[in-house]
Amino acid sequence: QVQLVESGGGLVQAGGSLRLSCAASGRTFSTYAMGWFRQAPGKEREFVAAIRWSGGRTFGTTYYAGSMKGRVSISRDNAKNTVYLQLNSLKPEDTAVYYCAAGSTGRSPQEYDYWGQGTQVTVSS
């Protein structure tokens, strides 16, 4: 069982940056692949990034959505049971609730086993 709690969202101006954190509980966190999704009002939940577990403290193969590649970076620290999402050069269209998920590196929400409650990111123009 893994429980996930996101933080770090907020209001930022276009061009700004945010770092989202996802704190996980559960002894097997380090073995889980982790992902980030986002969902804007009236839209489907959308894949943002994912990271595998490689056995080391922080290293893992990463995957990104094409729409955000170059502006987003996912990382993890297994010693802290935390996965991060660095968002740069934010645009108003990045406004959404961002969710952390565990269990896969896939691009479909159905592939993930556990979800956090989400953190709101609002980008003003």
7-16, 23-32, 46-55, 103-112, range with greatest mean pLDDT: 7-16
Q: What is the pLDDT of residues 41-79, one digit of tens each?
A: 999 999 999 998 766 666 678 999 988 889 999 998 888
Give the residue among 51, 4, 35 at the shortest CA–CA distance from 112: 35
**Is residue 39's pLDDT more than 90?**
yes
Question: Residues 102, 112: contact at Cβ < 8 Å?
Answer: yes
Query: Tokens 């954190």 label which residue?
Result: 21
**Is residue 81's pLDDT more than 70?**
yes
Residues 17, 11: Cα–Cα separation, whole Å: 10
Which pLDDT score is estimated for 7?
97
Which pLDDT score is estimated for 120?
98
